């Protein structure tokens, strides 16, 4: 039997929060040659819904009448700047709570997490949203354990995802859970996605995250570090290169990046090791990989990978390295 997927839209929702996941499920139907999913767009009333980009969507059902669709398997709530107004609507929040008791999976894209949290549906759960809004989500809803760096999170059947394109990653993971990795790989390839990212992968790289946060001399120092992360950078040498004391350099890192020079360098090197796994035709020995990126030995590299990415380097390579991509391609 086809699974019914409903995406909830509202005025000023984010267009891609709706169209991205929708296309994943629609492509699964096309590529499988079967109606695996029945897709519905719900809004206040059937008809046009203006997104925050100005392009209108066409809802086919009212959210208050979802029962007419029969059993709903998965309900996803879109994000967007219009979510602020929706959080104040008690009748919508009550409807979400009612649906939560009936659907198999309930989730949100980007700031749609605020609607679920406003309904109390994320209390006691781990959750994420767009990195720009994670602090607000944690502040407004202290009962929610916000994971600020994850692409998407599954917490007991409550699914939340980061901004915009992370909704596609979430939808691919739901598709894979339903119908296996082969079809999910076909869909990813059809949509020209470089790889299917795991939920625990960072929303953004260290380079992108910090090139805008640092300023002045610290930004120039980061540019040098980024140019050669594996160089034997020492705090004393780095401080001397910009004419400050090691203590003052540590203060700059804390003030502007909320970390220490050592922790920042370790995370940057770990990211380079991860990228090496994604591009190596053969899995590099962990001792060599750790040595190449100044990350201690194999065991330390394993611990760092597990802490930051939630998987071992070996498993990460098996899932997302070139051989995994080749396997996905062979199914297309």
Using a cut of 0.85, tell me whether the model's pTM lies above it: no
Bin 202: left if φ > 0, else alpha if -120 < ψ < 50, else beta.
beta
- Each residue's pLDDT tens digit, 129-170: 998 898 899 999 999 999 877 889 999 999 999 987 899 999
Domains and CATH numbers, the chain: 3-190 (3.40.50.880), 206-322 (1.10.10.60)
Residue 38, SS3 per DSSP:
strand
Q: Give the active site residue among 13, 97, 110, 134.
A: 110
- Each residue's pLDDT tens digit, 167-214: 999 999 999 999 998 899 899 889 987 555 656 556 656 555 666 678
- Active-site residue, 110 included: yes
- Each residue's pLDDT tens digit, 209-224: 666 678 888 988 988 8
Residue 28 tokens read as 């699964």
Q: Which of 10, 14, 25, 20 lies closest to 62, judged by CA?
A: 10
Euclidean distance between CA atoms 95 and 105, whole angstroms = 15
**Could you tell me the pLDDT band of residue 323, with boundaries at 50, 70 and 90?**
low
Share of the chain above pLDDT 90, in %: 67
**Could you tell me the pLDDT band of residue 116, with boundaries at 50, 70 and 90?**
very high
Euclidean distance between CA atoms 100 and 262, whole angstroms = 44
Euclidean distance between CA atoms 77 and 109, whole angstroms = 6
Indicate the pairing of strand 105-108 with strand 158-161.
Answer: parallel
More confident residue, 192 or 29: 29
Q: Which of 124, 125, 131 lies closest to 148, judged by CA?
A: 131
pLDDT at 209: 62
**Could you tell me the pLDDT band of residue 73, with boundaries at 50, 70 and 90?**
very high
pLDDT at 41: 98
């Amino acid at each position: 039997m086809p699974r019914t997927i409903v995406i909830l839209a509202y005025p000023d929702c984010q267009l891609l929060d709706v169209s991205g996941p929708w296309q994943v499920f629609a492509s699964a139907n096309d590529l499988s040659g079967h109606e695996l999913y029945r897709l519905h767009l719900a809004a206040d009333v059937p008809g046009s819904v203006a997104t925050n980009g100005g392009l209108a969507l066409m809802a086919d059902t009212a959210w208050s009448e979802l029962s007419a669709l029969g059993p709903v398997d998965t309900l996803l709530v879109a994000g967007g700047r219009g979510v602020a107004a929706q959080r104040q609507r008690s009748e919508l929040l009550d409807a979400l709570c009612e649906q939560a008791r009936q659907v198999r999976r309930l989730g949100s894209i980007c700031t749609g997490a605020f609607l679920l949290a406003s309904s109390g549906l994320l209390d006691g759960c781990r959750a994420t949203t767009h990195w720009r809004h994670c602090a607000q989500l944690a502040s407004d809803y202290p009962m929610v354990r916000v994971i600020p760096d994850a692409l998407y999170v599954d917490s007991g059947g409550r699914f939340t995802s980061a901004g915009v394109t992370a909704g596609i990653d979430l939808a691919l993971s739901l598709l894979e859970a339903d119908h296996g990795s082969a079809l999910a790989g076909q869909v990813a390839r059809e949509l020209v996605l470089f790889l299917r990212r795991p939920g625990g992968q960072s929303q953004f790289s260290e380079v992108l995250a910090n090139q805008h946060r640092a300023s002045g001399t610290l930004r120039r120092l980061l540019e040098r570090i980024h140019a050669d992360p594996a160089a034997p950078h020492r705090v004393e040498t780095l401080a001397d290169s910009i004419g400050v004391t090691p203590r003052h350099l540590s203060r700059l890192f804390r003030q502007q990046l909320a970390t220490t020079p050592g922790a920042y360098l370790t995370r940057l090197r770990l990211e380079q090791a991860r990228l090496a796994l994604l591009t190596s035709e053969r899995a590099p020995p962990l001792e060599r990989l750790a040595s190449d990126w100044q990350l201690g030995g194999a065991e330390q590299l394993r611990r760092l990978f597990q802490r930051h990415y939630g998987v071992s380097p070996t498993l990460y390579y098996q899932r997302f390295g070139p051989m995994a991509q080749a396997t996905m391609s062979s199914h297309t």
